């Protein structure tokens, strides 16, 4: 079973930036950037989820195409790992990208290359995997 480890590295007023590492056994096979909302008591739609151990499963839907579903989140449902660049693109989900940059020149860091990063992630994670959020 593959394992994903999300480390939250920088917490700002309106966003949390991190790194998502993907392991197969002891081998690091991929490295992504992440953007989430700040933690606000696990409030549905307005908060990142609790740091904990979860599982992710591949999922497909019209809105986000192929993505990952984080299962077992207490008090929350349909927490997804999907494409997006800005905090407005998430309602408590995890956005994945390939790097950090101030895309819109507002002085705040966003993630870039999100659709390509998500496509790569969903090629790697084709069955249930572990997710550890630190």
Across the chain, what does the average pLDDT equal? 96
Model confidence over 73-121: pLDDT tens digits?
999 999 999 999 999 999 999 999 999 999 999 999 999 999 999 999 9
Model confidence over 24-39: pLDDT tens digits?
999 999 999 999 999 9
pTM score, two decimals? Answer: 0.96
pLDDT score, position 12: 96
pLDDT score, position 54: 98
Which residues are within 8 A (CB) of 26 and not within 5 positions of it... i.e. 6 or more apart?
none
Q: Is the pLDDT of residue 63 over 90?
A: no
Dump the DSSP string for 15-68.
-EEEEEEEEETTEEEEEEEEEEPPPSTT-TTTSPPPSSEEEEEEEEETTTEEEE
Q: Is the pLDDT of residue 64 over 90?
A: no
């Amino acid at each position: 079973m593959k394992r994903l480890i999300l480390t939250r590295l920088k917490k700002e007023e309106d966003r949390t930036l991190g790194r998502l590492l993907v392991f197969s056994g002891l081998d690091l096979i991929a490295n992504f950037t992440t953007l989430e909302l700040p933690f606000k008591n696990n409030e549905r739609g307005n908060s990142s989820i609790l740091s904990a151990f979860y599982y992710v499963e591949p999922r497909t839907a019209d809105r986000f195409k192929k993505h990952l579903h984080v299962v077992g989140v207490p008090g929350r449902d349909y927490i997804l790992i999907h494409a997006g660049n800005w905090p407005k693109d998430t309602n408590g989900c995890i956005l994945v990208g390939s790097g950090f940059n101030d895309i819109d020149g507002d002085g705040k860091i966003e993630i870039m290359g999100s659709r390509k990063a998500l496509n790569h992630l969903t090629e790697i994670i084709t069955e249930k995997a572990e997710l550890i959020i630190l």
